[in-house]
Amino acid sequence: MKISQIITGAGKPFPSLEIVPPLRGITKNQLLDSIRPFMEFNPPYINVTSHRDEIEYVPQADGSFRKVASRKRISETAVCGAIMGEFHIETVPHLICGGADAFQIDNLLNDFRFLGISNLVALRGDCLTGEKRFTPTPGGYRYASELVEAVRKFDSDAFCIGVAAYPEKHFEAANLDTDIRNLKKKVDAGADYIITQMFFDNKVFYDFVDRCRAEGIDVPVIPGLKPISTPKQIQLLPEAFSLDIPVELTREIEKHAADKAAVYQIGQEWCLEQSRDLLAHGYKSVHYYTMGKADNVVGILRELF
């Protein structure tokens, strides 16, 4: 079933989850066991992130460098197949422009369709490690909007397409207005819904949605949340995702930084309150970034769904 139909047809709020494919060496059963605790809450779908190959330039005896590609993780396609086979729920692979040309993207879309996948999230993808600016692959796509067009051209009806948005602006965009206008290009190209980067202040999210609506973006916007679980994350998350953590939350975590369990509890409570507020504002779906950890998200879902 397509996500757009799930959202329209939902009688009551539901959670969705995002997982990162496991590192090589993890077995299918280990992966499935890490997801199993979520099944108690009947998530209608699970998103699976996509990661481009790492590129290393290895020095050679003659002074030249040899380009070596390596892949740390199992592919999103394999993970989706495993989840669908075991839990019989929808999976939403992320599809990225980075590291692939149009031919390779076409092959991936064929594999998705073959597996019976009818949803995906179209993204530009992160830069390579050490790269300051995104470099498109020759013969590939520069922006997610071009990828959305390509997916529609591949098969106009096969996939319900989600795209990413940033309530606090994408780090490269000159300002939020420009970023929202670029978001509209993705919707105009055929995206069916939007899923946001994590945020820790719901007011920022509501203002963002108002600005999207004012720009004529009328597709559903799914809020993305992540519970903070370690003191380090108040530095790491802003660095990695270019976002703000509210002063009140930062102070609480700093105050209890030496007490791991207390920080975990504070992060979970904050996310729970954000979730409650979103549901009270009529949002039917809340998306949780699990980032490889089930416990704190399971604790939140148990209170809400």
Phi and psi torsions of 136, nearest 5°: -65, 150
Residue with tokens 């904050």: 270
Residue from 86, 101, 172, 269 binding ligand FAD (CB under 6 A): 172
For residue 214, what are the CA distances in angstroms to 7, 48, 181, 195, 209? 22, 31, 11, 18, 9
Tell me: does residue 224 bind ligand FAD (CB under 6 A): yes
Tell me: does residue 94 bind ligand FAD (CB under 6 A): yes
Closer Cβ to ligand FAD, 4 or 265, answer by number: 4
Identify the three-state secondary structure at position 152: helix
The nearest distance, CB 254 to ligand FAD, in angstroms, is 27
User: Roughly how many angstroms between the first and final C-alpha of the chain, as a whole number?
Assistant: 21
Closer Cβ to ligand FAD, 191 or 263, answer by number: 191
The residues in 113-142 that bind ligand FAD, with binding defined as CB under 6 A, are: 121, 123-126
The nearest distance, CB 93 to ligand FAD, in angstroms, is 9
Structure token pair of residue 56: 């290393």
Residue from 149, 168, 179, 192 binding ligand FAD (CB under 6 A): 179
The nearest distance, CB 100 to ligand FAD, in angstroms, is 11
Per the CB < 8 A criterion, the answer to whether 46 and 18 are in contact is: yes
CA–CA separation, 82 vs 77, rounded Å? 9
Tell me: does residue 231 bind ligand FAD (CB under 6 A): no
Phi and psi torsions of 48, nearest 5°: -125, 120
Tell me: does residue 35 bind ligand FAD (CB under 6 A): no
Closer Cβ to ligand FAD, 182 or 250, answer by number: 182
Identify the three-state secondary structure at position 20: coil
Tell me: does residue 237 bind ligand FAD (CB under 6 A): no
The nearest distance, CB 6 to ligand FAD, in angstroms, is 17
Tell me: does residue 50 bind ligand FAD (CB under 6 A): yes
- Within 79-192, strands assigned E span 90-96, 119-123, 160-165
Q: Which stretch binds ligand FAD (CB under 6 A): 60-68, 177-185, 213-221, 274-282?
A: 177-185
Q: Which stretch binds ligand FAD (CB under 6 A): 2-10, 38-46, 100-108, 182-190?
A: 182-190
Phi and psi torsions of 128, nearest 5°: -65, 155
The residues in 194-223 that bind ligand FAD, with binding defined as CB under 6 A, are: 195, 197
Q: Closest Cα partner for 31 from 43, 39, 21?
A: 21
The nearest distance, CB 177 to ligand FAD, in angstroms, is 10
Tell me: does residue 144 bind ligand FAD (CB under 6 A): yes
Structure token pair of residue 113: 């369709």
Catalytically annotated residues: 18
Sign of CA dihedral 124, 194, 109, 155: negative
Closer Cβ to ligand FAD, 2 or 94, answer by number: 94
Q: What is the dihedral of CA 198, 241, 263, 274, to 10 degrees?
A: -20
Rule CB under 6 A: which residues touch ligand FAD? 49-50, 94, 96, 121, 123-126, 143-145, 164, 170, 172-173, 179, 182, 185-186, 195, 197, 224
